[in-house]
Amino acid sequence: MTDVIAGTRTAHEILAWGKTVVEPELRAAAGQLPPSMRPIAWHHFGWADGAGSGKALRPVLTLLSARAVGARPEAALPGAVAVELVHNFSLVHDDVMDGDGTRRHRATVWRVFGSGPAILAGDAMLALAARLLSGAPGQLHALMTAVLELIEGQSADLEFEDRDEVAVAECRAMAAGKTGALLGCACALGALAGGADPGRLSHLRCFGAELGLAFQFVDDLLGIWGEPAVTGKPVFSDLRNRKKTLPVVAALASDTDAGRELATLYRGELSGTQLARAAELVDLAGGRAWAQACADELMARALRHLRAADPEPGARAELETLARFVARRDR
């Protein structure tokens, strides 16, 4: 494995390095899936048509967190692969629940294979992730705890769709479970694999959790204003599904004319020009600016935890680069 070179690479180069390291192991692990599940996984990961998979942010955080505590990144490879499998289990199921037809510029698994096989494929990824860490009880416990938090967050996300009112604090708690828990776990897995003491482990977990919440704030912004050609998701997908995302909830709670008009729109089906108007109203009510400011503050808090973990300098530089990328990414 090629070592990370301190402070010399962009976020995209760091993520590309991580994919180079993790993807062969991920493919090998996916080869252990039941035969009926393998074509589904190959489609989802973009291996069947050469389209390629996602950013691999979580496994890269795992590898770099191991290095941050003085271990070589390969010590954390099982955890890196496991956390990526869990992340993709959640994506496959999320697409079924949201009815989204595209992800990463391709038809989603359920659109190609059906909802039942998609659910089974997600289940298989989750089971495989657990099996990969069966020889490391501490890491397995951390991962399964994060999965339970993720499921609770996703459950709240679904519940919010049927509620007229959702408090901002509730929405933040949902996002912390849905996204923050797994990024925090990704860092914890690397720290555990590297033999970190409890203090460093806690700070690295908090670094990932704060970063994960920042990631969700930005993801919610992209779900409304992201360019579909870049994000690979349908235009206004979150608004179409009347999702109570962070900027939407902030706008609805703003006690402004724009927020009240948005609330009226959200009580009915949204389509056509209503979607564009809803996006405009979220912006006018302050939801967009608030969400970006929160993402920036969370990134700053994440960096404070990272520095408190007293990481190895090269890993610290790379993790800081990734944190800044997360808070200002476009996909």
**Tell me: the pLDDT tens digits for 140-156?**
999 999 999 999 999 99
DSSP state of 2: P
The answer to whether residue 4 is domain-embedded is: no
- Reply yes or no on whether the pLDDT at 53 is more than 80: no
- Reply yes or no on whether the pLDDT at 269 is more than 90: no
Domain region containing 19: 11-327
- Reply yes or no on whether the pLDDT at 4 is more than 90: no
Average pLDDT across the chain, whole number:
92
CATH code, domain with 86:
1.10.600.10
Q: 3-state DSSP call for residue 102? A: strand
The answer to whether residue 3 is domain-embedded is: no
Query: Percentage helix, strand, coil, to 5, in the chain?
Result: 75, 0, 25
The answer to whether residue 100 is domain-embedded is: yes
Residue with tokens 């589904």: 40
Q: Compute the average pLDDT of residues 19-43.
A: 96
List 106's β-bridge partners, or say none.
103
The answer to whether residue 216 is domain-embedded is: yes
The answer to whether residue 1 is domain-embedded is: no
| pTM, to two decimals | 0.92
- HSE at residue 284, side-chain half, CA atoms within 13 A, is 14
Residue with tokens 């698994």: 109
The answer to whether residue 5 is domain-embedded is: no
* Total number of domains constituting the chain: 1
Structure tokens at 158: 């679904």
Residue 106: which pLDDT band, with cuts at 50, 70 and 90? confident
The answer to whether residue 322 is domain-embedded is: yes
